[in-house]
Amino acid sequence: MRIVITDSGLGGLSVVAELEKRLNELPIFESAELIFFNSLYSSKYGYNSNIDFSEKVTIFNNALTSIEANYNPDLILIACNTLSVIFPHTEFASNSKINIKGILDCGINLFRNSIKNSDEKTILFGTPTTINSNVYKDELIKLGINEAQIINQACPNLETQIQNNPNSIETQNSINRFVKEAVKKLGSIPQKTHVGFCCTHYGYSESLFANEFYNNLKSDFEILNPNNKMIDFLFAETKKLYSHSNVAVKVVSQVELKKSEIELLSNILITNSPKTTAALRNYEFIKNLFAKEQNGKESIK
């Protein structure tokens, strides 16, 4: 089983790490190759930079085309909320026959099922692209949640700060600011507040979010992180178990990763996911992994 997990940065590595861990606990595949494909095109700007949405679509479509051409996966997991918003607009979404799962549906179900009554509210934290699309809010309203129960909170550049250092003063200050802004939007304090992570990076700084809510909300709250729920469908559908899974992990990127961020994330992942950690530390830097613009399939040079 070859599974490619992609993100616009390193947040989705937490999904790879969780998949490695659970395959060791529940060997549903005799062998599994997990490939983390960094869909970030340039270190100078990301998908939440000030570029046209059409350009974001083109870049991600090219990344997906490269994934198919170079790795021929059985399954693609889009472990990124921003890319999950962009994905339906790509040509790849219409033309590819590969099984593709995005984190959006998982997050929507998690946030919907957490709300038990009208005295509760949900704050959705995410990148500007994700939050401004209103995709989570609109879907939750369709599922019967009152619009007044949903608070959108965009967090510009937070994913980059977390990737640089999930516990830095810069990250702490940003989370403090965004939490305070979100709490003000609540108005009257609800019986319970659900804190929805709409970015895969945010889980690395979950303790900082929890601390800020503890200090600023003074009432019951619950943090909801879809990352670890994203792969539940694989294990829910299984009927056969092997004695063990032979798991291999690879990380590929056309953007050079900083040594500091590699070490910081490695220290977080090493306990439960040693192969993911080793793959990150020995990642493959492939300069022409995918193009910004292309007419056909892009192959690794």
Interval 91-111: pLDDT, tens:
999 999 999 999 999 999 999
Whether residue 36 has pLDDT greater than 70: yes
**Band of residue 40 on the pLDDT scale cut at 50, 70, 90:** very high
What are the boundaries of each domain within the chain?
2-102+229-285, 104-226
Which residues contact residue 16 at a Cβ distance below 8 angstroms, ignoring those fewer than 6 apart? 5, 34, 36, 79, 249, 273, 276, 279
The yes or no reply on domain 2-102+229-285 and CATH 3.40.50.1860 is yes
Share of the chain above pLDDT 70, in %: 96
Q: What is the Cα 101 distance to its own chain's centre?
A: 12
Q: What is the pLDDT of residues 225-234, one digit of tens each?
A: 999 899 999 9
| Closest-CA residue to 56 (of 170, 166, 132) | 132
Cβ distance 56 to 129 under 8 Å?
A: yes
Report residue 294's pLDDT band, with 50, 70 and 90 as the boundaries: very low
Res 293: pLDDT: 60
Residue 229's alpha-carbon distances to 27, 234, 248, in angstroms, are 17, 10, 21
104-226 matches 2-102+229-285 in CATH topology: yes
Block residue for tokens 């613009």: 293
Least confidently predicted of 36-40, 50-54, 185-189, 249-253: 50-54
Q: Which CATH architecture has domain 104-226?
A: 3-Layer(aba) Sandwich (3.40)
